[in-house]
Structure formats: structure tokens, C-alpha cells
Structure 1
Amino acid sequence: MDKGYIVPEAALKKLRAAKGLGQAVYIYGATGYGKTELVKQYLSKRRYLYISCAEDSAGLLEAAQEEGKGKEAETRTVAAVDDLHLLKDAEGRRAVLSLIKRRDVWLILICRSPIPVWLMPPYVGGGLLVITEDDLRLKEKEIAAYIKSQGLDITEGELAFVTQRSRGNAYIVRHTALKMLEGLRPGSKLEQEIGEAFAGYLESHVMVQWDSDLLEFLMQVSVADEFTLPFAEMITGNCHAPELLERAVETGNFLSCKDGVYRLRPQLIRALRRRAAKEYSPRERAGHVYNAGLYYEMQGQIVPALAMFEQCGNKERIRELLIRNARLNPGNGHYFELRHYYLQMKEEEVEESPVLMAGMSMLYSLLLQEKESEYWYKKLEGFASAAKGGRRREAVSRLAYLDIALPHRGSADMIGIMKKMPALIFDKGMSLPEFSVTSNCPSTMNGGKDFCHWSREDRKLAATIGKLVERVLGRYGKGLVKAALGESLYEKGEDIYEVLTLLARAKMEAEGGGMAELAFAAVGLQVRLDTLQGQIQTAGEVLASFEKNVIEQGAVQLLPNIAALRCRLALYQGNREAVLAWMGQAPDEDKEFCILERYRYLTKVRCYLSLGKYLKAQALLEKLRYYAEKCGRTYIRMEVCLLSAIAKYRTGGEWKGEFFPMLREACGYHFIRLVSEEGAAAQELFAAAGKSLLEKEVMDKAWLSRLMEETGKVAVRYPAYLKGRLAEAPDFCEAALSILRLQAEGKSASQIAGELSMKEATVKYHVKENYRKLGVCGKADAVLTARDLGIL
């Protein structure tokens, strides 16, 4: 580093504190974080002993054997031991431990790795003050000062880019400044150049210090960004992998481990791959990649397995995996994630396999491209009519599966389809492929398909066609009828004890040889019921218990929607921190829209509403509306209309055109909980509409009265649910604020109009808008809320 290098303040403070206490210091961080430069600058005006374990480890022994010269702070010998990660002999390590204990020596240890095992005794005993890599990171202010010291100007956006991409690494910041002096500005091109240069530096100055067996091991595992011990053993075939990983951790702070998963830093991965390209032939490197693919395949991780087989050019393996994935239902398979592999296959390749043809039909349906889906369905039909034996049976069973499961076909003809199944399955000895009733959503009536229309005759259908459905679906349908009937009764607000009985039995049937997804549907309904009754803590405990069982059973496909359901509980509790944490892992609808994520998307809409991001909520709702219309999803369409009405009402848009048709349709099904579960958010709309208009729009007065009563109870139980961002002064124009101030003085609308020289109608408009923004219904509440928020 040059004289322009700026010492990170956090590290400097710790170094000064250690000097005052006479406490030994351990400084660690990856290459380029300025560890040595920090010490040299701090000690630049002092005499000190510098020992590098890379060049003169013998000096350690001399320093340890030297007699003490004093005990006072001003007479202590200052010793800096650098490159400690290279100190491997026992004698040298004993010398360091001896120096740490010496009161006449102030010792500074510089290393690339966190505290090694052999230094744990003095560390645990309080003999070491540790300066971490985080302490060494240059902060944005320090980076700005350094760049300015080099005579350079930088914009705020460029500074943020450099800070984020460099992660405060002094070497990268220095290199950035040099490139800027050459005329490059911070951006992708500069980042690429520096990344290549840094990888070259690591290759030529850092990796050359490693033992050959360690370097060879890391080059081989670098085919993946992260790996486990079994993974490393599979790729390398090295029985000493545990020992090598231990050595790698001690060699430098570039390898981290969490929950058994090792991760290499991106810069080192690039350097290792560069070196591997020189050391190994293309065939040898392809072998390492192929082994990685096999490991992923054995673990059932099809997406990374395919990426590895694509990288090593093994097309036959790719085809085999795509067929295997196509045998899974969309809830367990990876159709959407693997779509580019399927779509790049040649048509003649697909036509050779009935499983692939069925998979293509399902994939296109998931992509909302019904014409292409039906094209492959017809292709499969043609194959079935010409094929014989096992291949014909496979094709016919796939056609039967698609008849039931294709999303774009909806569920209108489902009873007729189900009645034909026994003759096909039982009489002809065929079986349905793997099936998903719920698509991993906590619902059966609104799961893989929408069955709102069945709800009108729920008890009759459960008693008649119920047994047939369960018989056709086999273990995939265990508990289905009871769960579906329980959900229908719940939605209509019928006897909670009957609902609980049905859900409990459905769960037991699903757990007794059925599918975990159906148990989740029952548990999800129980969680909703507990929440509705005000027992939200019980709801959380029920969900946590079920999640634990799911993890033990390995049904990991349910975990994302379990987390979404937990987020919905957090919304009821007004737990903003939990909501924001979930949003960090929620699917990004702007990057890609996948219909299998609909439950998480609808959860995300509610999060947007609670955070006051109404335009984001509306944009996502329009995508969900398009999906609901294309695939005949009645319940989701009604849900979208309700949430859209809430968003539009809060932004002053036309909301009644969404709200009233939704109410009339929900009334037609006698659904209560679709609306009442939205509590305070729906209550806003009822209050804004007024009782007389509601009764005019909805003919069933008894249903409406019951709905409004239950919605009011939920609003009282969960006042913070979807509350939205609190209003702030900038949300109000000067006229609106003036009206609020005069209302606070007790003046009427006509008096305010006269004082402000406004029309009374204008005053009333502003009053109404003020109430909406403050989330209140009257003058007294408006004034109190505005004062609480500091607006008045």
C-alpha cells in the first residue's frame, strides 16, 4: 500500500486499545485487506521487531529465547509476527505461545485465517484481542477519502458501487483507483478487469504458498461454488478430504463453513479455476464436473446436476434426468426451473418418450401457453394409439394424468373425468403417475385446481363421488375428501367443531400412508381457524410442530409455503421485522412469474399492503389476475379483487368496481372467510361504502350481516393487520394540513370553507382524503392520530 492508504478506523481503535492494555493482538483477514499495512503504519514511528513466517520463522525462536528487558509499557519490546498461517512446526508455535505470555513483549500476530486450534487456550483465557476482517473493511467514507487523496472525483452511485463490490478490500479499492486514473469509471467492465487481475494475483502470490496436495484438492472441488465433505470426497476420490479441509480453513480466510456446507470466496474460485484450466486437460476437468453432477443426482438435486452435465457436455445424462424429472408432479419436480433444458430439446427427441411428451404438455400449461400444451397432448395421443405393450400403457396413464392435472383446463369437467378413471385404471391394470392434489399449497379446494363450484354441494359430493376420487388417486388422495369438506365448511363459516373433526381425521389419514401435502392442507386450515378465533399463539405452535415433522420426513417442497403461512401470522401480529425477513426470501415476480408460487405471491401482496407499497401490490395482483382468468381459478380471482380494492382504496383509486362484484360472487358461494380474514383492511371498505350501499349491492342481507360482524371481530382482534405505512406530513398538501389544523380547533366544514376561501365541497373532499390517509373514520380520531404522528 502507498502513503495514500487510509487505515480503517474500527481496526485502529482496537489496536490502540490493545497497546494501552499491553494485550497481544490477533489480526486476520483474507488477502488484500491491509493487515500488514495497518501494523506498519501504526508502528511507523516506533522501533519494532518484524518476523515473517514465510521468510524468517527462525526469528521467532530467537525472540522467544531473548531475556526480558523490562515490565513497563514504555520499555516493552514490540514484535509483529506476519503470515502466521504458514507456521506449521510445533517449535515455532510454542515460541508464539511463549511470547503471548511475556509481559515485556507486546505481540501482534497477523494471519489470513480465524483463530487456529493451537491458539485457542490464550484466546479463551482472554490473552488475545482479535481484529477481524470486518474491522479491516474500508467503509464508504474511508473509500471516498482514499479516492479523493488520489486526485479523483467519484459520484455517489459510483462510490456505492465500489463499496459494495469491493467489500471494503483495500487491494481492490487501490486497484479501482488506478483504473480510474487510466480513464475507466466504476461499472461492470472495471469490475471484470479487477476481478481477473485479483484472481491472477491470488494465483501467483497466494496459491504458490500452498502444499501441492492442498492446491490439487481445492482446484478439483472448485467446480462448485459450495460443497459438503461427501461432495468433496465424490469429486476428488480423496480419502484425506477431512484433513485437507481442516488445513484449508487454517491456510486463509477464504473458506467458510456453515451447517456442514463449505463456501469458497468468489475471487478464489476464479483463481482456482484459472489454475485448474492450466493444470488439467479438458477431459480431466470434465471428469471432475461429471462427478459433481453424479453427486447432485444421487442427492436428488436435479437442477445443479443438470448444470454440471451441461458443463461437461454429457447430453445423454441430461436427457435421462429430464425424463426422471418429468415423472414427478409439478409440486415435486422442477419444470419451471429446468424449462430452458426442455425447450432446447429437438422435437424428435421428445417424441421418442411418452414421459417427455407429457412433461412438455405440463410445462407449457405451467407457462400459460395452452396451445403448445395441447399440441403435445395431441402428440401423446397419437403415440398412444400407435404404441403397444408397456409403452402404450405408459402413454395412456400419462394422458389420464394430464386430463386431471393440466392447469389451463381448469376443473369444470372433473367429475366426468373421474368417473371414467376406474375403467381405465382398475379394469385395464394401469396406474396414475405421481400426483399432487394441492401443489404444496395449504388448501385442497384451492390447491392444484380450483373447486369452488363443488362447494355449493359439498356434503352431497363428499358422500357420492368422494370415495371414487380417493380410490382413483390412491395414496395421493388419502384424507382428501375430509380435508376438502372441512375447508368448504370453514370457508362458509359453518360449525367449527365439525370442521376441526374433519381436519383432524384428514391429517391422520394423510399421515397414515398418504402424502404430507394433504396433511399440510389440514394443518393450514387449522392454523387459519385458530387465528380467526384469536388463538394466534396456538396457531404458531401448530405450524411449528408440523414444520418439524416435515423436515424429519424430508418433505422439503412444503417448506417455502410453510414459511409464507408463518409470514401471514406475522402480518396479523404486526411483526414488521418478521415480514421484512420473509420478504428477503420471497420469489421475485419482476424477475420471472411462476404460477406454482401463487400462494407466496398472494402472501407477498399482503406484505406490500402492510408496507405501504401499493403500486407494487397492484402490479403483482394484475399478474395473478391474468393467471386466475387463464386457468379458471375462481377463488384466487375473488381474492385478487378484494386485495386490489384495498390497494386502490388506500391510493384514492376506483375500488368499488373491484369490491362489489367480488362480494356478490362470494355471496353466491356463501363464502365468509375469504373476506373476514382480511379484518381491519376489509373493514375499511365496509366503512367507506356504508351500510345502505352494501345492502343495495348484496341481496342476501343475512349473509352480509354475518360477514360484516365477523370481519369487525377480526379487525378488533388484529388491529395492526395490513395497517399500512403510517401517514407522514409530506403525504398532505398545505390545504389539507390547514383543514386538519382548523378541525383541531373544533371548526365545522362550512366555517373552514369560509376561513380558507374554499368551496365547502372542496373542504369535504380534503377531509375525506385526510381520514383515508390517517386510517380513521371521524374528526376526533383524525386529530388525535395526526398529533400522535407529529403531523399537527
Structure 2
Amino acid sequence: MADQMENIYWKQPLHILSESTQKVVYLFAKMGWGKTEIVKQWLEEEKHPHHWIDCTQRTTWGKLKEWLSLEPSDNCHFIILDSFQNIRNTERLTELMADIKASPKAYRFIIMSRTMVPSVLRPMMIRRELKVMGESELSMDKAAVKTYLAQDNIQATDEEAAEIRAISGGWPMALNAIILEIKENGGTPIRGCRYVQSRRYLYDLIAEEIYLPLGGDLRRNLMLLGMYETFDEEMAAVLMDVDNPRPILQDILQIGSFLTEFEPGKYHFTPFMYYFFMDRRERCDQQQIYIEANRRLGHYFEAKAEYVSALEAFYTYGLYEEGIRVLKTVLSRPPDSDVYYEMEPFLEKTPALCVERDPLLCYSMAMIHSLNYRVAECKDWYDRLLALEAEGGWSAEELKVIRIAVIHGKIAIPCVLGDRKVIRPLLEGAALIRSGVNLFNGFTVTGNQPRIMAGSRDFCNWCHHARLLEKFLKRPLQQLLGKKAVGIVDIGFGEKSYQEDDLDTCLIHAAKALADCEGGGTLDTLFVAKALLAQGLVARGKLGEAKSTMLGFRDRLVEEGGEALLRNVMAFRIGQSLLEGPNPGAIEWLEDEGIDESIAFHTTDRYGYLIKIRALLCSGGVERALPLIELIHAYALDYQRTYNVMETLVLKAICLHKMGRMTNALAALEKALAMARNYHFIRVFADEGGGILPVLEALPKTSREEDFVKKVTEATRAFQEQYPKYYGVQGKLDKGLLTNAEQVVLSQIATGRSNVEIAEFLSVSLATVKTHINRIYHKLGVKNRTQALLKAERLGIIENG
């Protein structure tokens, strides 16, 4: 099959050989890479005079010295040293380097070896007199693999060729074995990387040629390191249980090209060697050494607070006791970081009995399902926690831990309790803290939104009894929340006053909360206080002054470790920018930051989604906005967030009006008015200005003349006059439906290119292309390429035909 590879496989190495100006080219790779054939073909094509020396022959040095003693008649004369790995004598290698250095300028050398550059030749690398070429330059890319397969009458799709390229590493010997197996199975590629015979043949060959000839200590170290495809020197030290791993790593680098140092102190095994080590470990009886190595590595990552890596190390060999300890370290913190979400797969891998019998783990399963908007699963796990409490037979200390988890769930998980039943758990939680108990998990006060109270499930009902609740709950809240309670009561009153359109009172409370937060609160409550003050100023028509409230705040977040709030600060500023007209980059930025419902919907990001809905409505992306509004509305109903129900009804009315469906828009608006009337909330309508005003004005006369509706309409009209460009785009502007990147991908789909071809054409990963295509399908409401192109043509996103 070597003959078939000409001009397919060797294009890159042949080019490197032609372009090289160094005295020596050092070509190294393990068996089966075709080093000899590459050099022979190049010499034949270039017509270079040369001498070929086989380093397995005893006459090697005599021939070499004889040739070097003669002045070549040509301007460029090559000396080829094949099987160079057989020269192990250090004195002889030193002599060779001296001979090469002293040789006439016309002599150039190509050295072929299965091992890395010997130390005595490395000074030439430093002086740039020696060019190194390894397996990365020799391996076939996907296109070469596809063509190589075709020459054996095996027709592979781009995805199949990419899969074969991934498991073979572009290694010709591996490809040849795979081709034989494909032919034995009818000539069709086997999907899912299931080339069992090929793998076994190659693994046995690697063992015989590379692995077994090594010493016992080196084999052990290779097997330990081979648990990871990529690692650094600190990891290597922990895995091998040595103080200084570098000498061992340098020895391994000398053995062959299957391990490379791609950055100083960072190493990578070739894919096939990594799979070889995996296979050998699975068949090894001495599993305890790998268990202990992963235990050490897990402790190492745990000490560095790299919890996901620690859990991967522990769970690989079923070290659940250590893994559960790390899980509980992470899950005992508020769920306001990405790492909290990453605990779900490890919780699922933990033995079910361990989760069900541990109050924190049981609660955390309910919380993670809640955050991912899986209501039924959330309630199921919370019911298990309640069953644990009712079981009986617990010691007083054990029962106290269970009670903490139960109370925490009642307070923190919205779908657990009804809208008006959370006050008692607040009092119970505060009583536990007064008795000296620490709740296992702090509360996330803002829920990732700058309107701390309005989005709360209880805020609307609390507004009816605000002063009474302040009297009874202020101290319990301080006990429950600690520093996070600073400013929270004034923020609550400020938000209540704002929604009732009492802007003077709102601004007074906001200023007081801001001063308190600056004096001893947390960054998230400080952000909420700033946002509340800014909202009051915007309602006053003072947009410039409102913008100034956030000046310098992003820098402060970075300096004080509040990076988690940066996305919310930016989302808030995007919301402000929409008041001055459509913001073309807003939607793309939000999706780049993870506010993308086509990939995942996390409930803590609801504020970002509400801003995204407004950005879509302001730019005419109504067809895309409506399903997102329905999603947030359903979430608000399930989680009993009354204000968000009203808010999404108002946004739905705006969207339906822009779609020309006024009857439906009026129905949504009337539902929102009926709910808001109970709480006398005006700003939930007024803050949408010109978006909702036409729908308000289209209400029946009897509705328009009602006192509450008159106040709503008056405030809304005033806001529209202050910010006439907000919701200024009328009708559809569907070209704004897709981001620039998505339009580029869609145009490539129109050319008929496959996903792999699009990725190569745009120089992005296949995963990126698939993500863009999934987003395109979601936004257009289609299921395949043909439907996407037809819908895009109809909307004018791409040209007809």
C-alpha cells in the first residue's frame, strides 16, 4: 500500500524537506510511518546525489568517514543515515557530531530514527543547524485519509474519514490494519470506532516493538502517565510519586515519538499510544497502583481547588468516599457559579444509595434539577429528602442536618412550596442559626438579576404587608443572609415604590441601600442597589445620569473577585442601550455569553433572557422572540414567580402586536392588567414605553377609562415620549434573526458544503459549525437544511435560488 500514498500522504513532509536549509534534517517516528519511502521518493523527485547508510550495518562508520574525506563534486550532496536509533554509543555519537560539523558545506544530512534527537546533537538544534520532523508532520489529515481509503475502493463520508483519522492518528500502519478489517466486513466503514481486530493487532505490535523491551520501572511509569493523554510535570510527579519527574520524562522522550513536549513542561501522548495504555491497564491484574495514583492526583487537584479535575481522578477508579467529600465541598456553596452545574454528572455517577442517604447530596440533586428547569425531577428528589426526614431513628445531630436541608429547600427551591408559604421556613432557618447551627449552603440573593425583589416569587404578595413583614423578618433575614442582608430591606421597599410609580420614595430607599452596601455589603447587593437607583433615574428621564451609576463598577468587580457578576452588569447596560434604539451586537454578545436557549436554559440566567427578548423585539426578531417569551412564561408559572408572569405577559402582548395579532395581544395585556391591579404595579407596563403603548390604547373604552389603566397608560406614554426610539422598529426585520456568524454558516449551507467542509472552509472546529447550525434551526423553527434554506429565502435572509 505504500505505493498508493504518493502525492497523497507525503505532501507536507516532502515540502518540508524541499524548503529546509539546515545542515541536518532529523526525521523521527516509530515503525510504520514510511520514513524510508518518503526520503527515497523525495531524492528521486529532486534528483539529488546522495549516499545511503544503513546504521544496522557494521561498515557504517568506515563508509561515512570515507565519503566525508572527499570533496563532493556537486553543490549539494545528501548523506542519509537510516535506522539511526541503533547507534547508542555516546562517544560514537559525539564523534559523529564533530564529523558533521567539520564536513564540507555541500554535504547535508537526513537522519531517520525511531527516537528523539540524542542529547549530543541538540546543540545543533539550538544553533538552528538541525531541523526536526516528527509524527505530527507525517500524519495524514482527514482529506488524505479519505483519498487513501478510496484507492482501496472504500468510500467513506467526511464524518467517517474524520473518525478513522481520529482513532488512527493518521498513522499509515494503523490505517492499513483498519483497511484490512473494513474489507473483511464487506468494504463499508464501521461507525463508532469499533475496529476491534485492528486495535488488537496494533496493540500487540506496539507491545512487542516498543513497550516490552523497556525496563520494568519505565514500563510502570509509562502506564501511570498514560492514564492521561495530556499532562504537565506537576501531574507527572504526583502520578509517578517522585519529586523530580523531568529525568524520567526526558528518558521517555528519547524512546520514541509517541510522547511530545508541546510546551515547556507540558506533554502529550499520541492518540494510539494513549489508547494502547488504556487497553493494557484494563487487562492488567495490578489495578491497585492505578487506584493509588489517581487517589494522589485527586488530592493534588483538590488542594488546588480544581474540583472537576479532582472528581474525574477519584471517580475514574470508583474512589467515591474521596469524591463525595469534594462534591460536598462544592455543593455546600451557593449555586451561582458554573462549577456548581458541573457537579451533576458526578452526582449521577455516585451510588444512588449514597445520594439518597445524604441530606446535602439529596438536596443538591433537587437544586440542580431546579436550576435546569426540570420541575418533576426537582420535586421527586425533594420528596426523597422529606422521606428521609420522616423515616425516624435518627440521632439528634443527624436529624438537625436533615432539617437544615429541608428548610433550605423550602426557602431556596421555588417550585417546592406555594407562593405564600415561605415565611415559616425563614423563621425556622433563623432559629437554627441562633441555636448555633451553620446552614450548609449560603443563599444567592440576586438570583443573577439586578432586580432583586421584582422577580421573586414572593415579592408581589409581600408588597401587601411590607411594613409588617419588615418588622418580623428583618432580623431573621440578617441571621440567614449575613452580609448579604445589608441593604436588602431598603432595596425591597425601593422596588415596591418603583413598581407603584412612587419614584421619589424609590430613589430615597435606593440611595440608602447603596450607602449601606458600600459600607459593608456584598458586591451582588451593591449591584442591585446601583441598578435600582439607575432604574429610578431612567424613569425620571435622566438616562445619562443613570448610566453613570455603573461607571467603574466592572473594574471594581475584577479587582474584588466579583467576575461572576460581569455578565449581569453587561446585560443591564445592554438593556439601557436599547432605550436609545436597536443594538445590533446585543443578541450576539448575549449568546456568546451563554444566554442561548437552543443549547440550554438555566433558570438563574432569567434576567439575561428577558433582556435578550427585549433586544429581539427592538430589532424586529419577533418570530424568534415569541417562543422564548413562552419559555420564560412557563418557567415563571412553574416556579410561582408572579412578577415574571406579569412581565412575560406584557412582552408577549408587544410581540403579538408587532406580528399583527392584535386580538391575541389584547388578551395577553388584559391578563397582565388583571394581575398587576391587585398589587398596583404600574412600571411593569410603563417601562416598555412605545412597545406596549399601542396595545394599551387599543383596549376597549371601558377598560381605558378605569383609574388603574389610566395611570398605567399615562406613565407609559410619558416613558415613550422620553425614549421614542425604544421599540422604534415596526413590523419584522428578519435579517436580524441570525448573527453574522450564523448568516455566514447559512450561506455555506446554501453552497451544498457538508459540515466538515464548512468547518475547514471557515477555519473553525466542527463542533462550532454544528452549534451554529443548531441555533439556525432553532431560530427559523425548522428541522433540516432544506427547510432552513426555504425559510431563509422566504424571510429574505438569503437571496432566492
TM-score by length of 2: 0.68
TM-superposed CA distance for 1:188, in Å, is 2.9
Distance 1:227 1:242, change over 3 A: same
* CA shift digits 1:439-489 (9 cap, x unpaired): 872546279954552796899699755554223322454454566677778
Distance 1:597 1:770, change over 3 A: closer
From 259, 268, 274, the counterpart of 2:273: 268
Letter in 1 for 2:401: E
| Matches of 2:135 and 2:658, distance apart in 1 | 46
* CA shift digits 1:19-44 (9 cap, x unpaired): xx576545577886655543332224
Equivalences for 1:670-681 in 2 at 5 Å? 670-671=682-683
TM-superposed CA distance for 1:343, in Å, is 7.0
From 401, 415, 432, the counterpart of 1:394: 401
Q: Secondary structure at the match of 2:737?
A: coil
1:702 and 2:714 aligned? yes
Distance 1:497 1:268, change over 3 A: farther
Distance 1:602 1:287, change over 3 A: farther
Equivalent residue number for residue 153 of structure 2 = 151
Equivalences for 1:517-596 in 2 at 5 Å? 518=525, 542-543=553-554, 546-547=557-558, 549-550=560-561, 574=584, 579=589, 582=592, 595=603
Contact 1:476-1:515 at 8 Å conserved across structures: yes
Distance 1:400 1:581, change over 3 A: closer
Contact 2:22-2:129 at 8 Å conserved across structures: no
| Matches of 1:791 and 1:543, distance apart in 2 | 45
Equivalent residue number for residue 412 of structure 2 = 405
From 289, 300, 309, the counterpart of 1:284: 289
Contact 2:486-2:517 at 8 Å conserved across structures: no
Contact 2:235-2:297 at 8 Å conserved across structures: yes
Equivalences for 1:278-677 in 2 at 5 Å? 281-300=286-305, 305-306=310-311, 308-314=313-319, 316-317=321-322, 327-331=332-336, 333=340, 336-341=344-349, 344-345=352-353, 350-351=356-357, 354-355=359-360, 358-359=363-364, 362=367, 367-369=374-376, 371-382=379-390, 387=394, 389-409=396-416, 412-413=419-420, 416-417=423-424, 420-421=427-428, 424-425=431-432, 428-438=435-445, 441-443=448-450, 445=452, 450=457, 452-453=459-460, 465-466=473-474, 468-478=476-486, 480-481=488-489, 505=515, 508=518, 518=525, 542-543=553-554, 546-547=557-558, 549-550=560-561, 574=584, 579=589, 582=592, 595=603, 624-634=632-642, 637=645, 656=665, 660=669, 664=673, 669-671=681-683
Equivalent residue number for residue 723 of structure 1 = 736
Equivalent residue number for residue 77 of structure 2 = 76
| Matches of 2:76 and 2:36, distance apart in 1 | 23
TM-superposed CA distance for 1:602, in Å, is 7.1
Aligned length: 718
Contact 1:81-1:110 at 8 Å conserved across structures: yes
| Matches of 1:612 and 1:209, distance apart in 2 | 69
Contact 1:486-1:502 at 8 Å conserved across structures: no
Distance 1:7 1:426, change over 3 A: closer
1:203 and 2:207 aligned? yes
Contact 2:734-2:796 at 8 Å conserved across structures: no
| Matches of 1:86 and 1:503, distance apart in 2 | 78
TM-superposed CA distance for 1:630, in Å, is 1.6
* CA shift digits 1:310-345 (9 cap, x unpaired): 554455555655665654444465663334246721
Distance 1:556 1:128, change over 3 A: farther
| Matches of 1:462 and 1:74, distance apart in 2 | 96
| Matches of 1:82 and 1:158, distance apart in 2 | 35
* CA shift digits 1:61-107 (9 cap, x unpaired): 97589536557864422435666799794863784587478622233
From 182, 185, 190, the counterpart of 1:180: 182
TM-superposed CA distance for 1:116, in Å, is 9.3
Letter in 2 for 1:471: Q
Contact 1:418-1:468 at 8 Å conserved across structures: no
| Matches of 1:772 and 1:158, distance apart in 2 | 34
| Matches of 1:580 and 1:120, distance apart in 2 | 50
TM-superposed CA distance for 1:376, in Å, is 3.3
Instruction: Compute the RMSD of aligned alpha carbons.
Output: 6.0
Equivalences for 1:248-259 in 2 at 5 Å? 248=252, 251-252=256-257, 254-255=259-260
| Matches of 1:115 and 1:181, distance apart in 2 | 39
Contact 1:491-1:672 at 8 Å conserved across structures: yes
Contact 1:161-1:187 at 8 Å conserved across structures: no
| Matches of 1:87 and 1:395, distance apart in 2 | 67
Distance 1:441 1:423, change over 3 A: closer
| Matches of 1:693 and 1:436, distance apart in 2 | 43
Contact 2:686-2:719 at 8 Å conserved across structures: no
| Matches of 2:187 and 2:699, distance apart in 1 | 64
1:241 and 2:252 aligned? no
| Matches of 1:586 and 1:617, distance apart in 2 | 13
Equivalences for 1:32-111 in 2 at 5 Å? 37-44=37-44, 46=47, 48-49=50-51, 63=64, 67=68, 69-70=70-71, 74-79=75-80, 89=90, 92=93, 95-96=96-97, 99=100, 103-108=105-110
Q: Secondary structure at the match of 2:2?
A: coil
| Matches of 1:323 and 1:202, distance apart in 2 | 42
| Matches of 1:297 and 1:570, distance apart in 2 | 43
- Unaligned runs of 5+ residues in structure 2 are 748-790
| Matches of 2:13 and 2:683, distance apart in 1 | 62
Q: Percent identity, please.
A: 18
| Matches of 1:323 and 1:669, distance apart in 2 | 42
Contact 2:445-2:484 at 8 Å conserved across structures: no
Distance 1:537 1:445, change over 3 A: closer
Equivalent residue number for residue 779 of structure 1 = none
TM-score by length of 1: 0.68
TM-superposed CA distance for 1:3, in Å, is 0.3
| Matches of 1:661 and 1:114, distance apart in 2 | 77
- Bigger drift between 371-380 and 236-245 goes to 371-380
Contact 1:84-1:111 at 8 Å conserved across structures: yes
TM-superposed CA distance for 1:711, in Å, is 5.9
- Unaligned runs of 5+ residues in structure 1 are 677-681, 732-768, 776-788
| Matches of 2:650 and 2:29, distance apart in 1 | 53
Letter in 2 for 1:186: P
* CA shift digits 1:207-233 (9 cap, x unpaired): 456565443223123334554544433
Distance 1:444 1:715, change over 3 A: closer
| Matches of 1:524 and 1:672, distance apart in 2 | 16
TM-superposed CA distance for 1:597, in Å, is 6.3
Distance 1:568 1:167, change over 3 A: farther
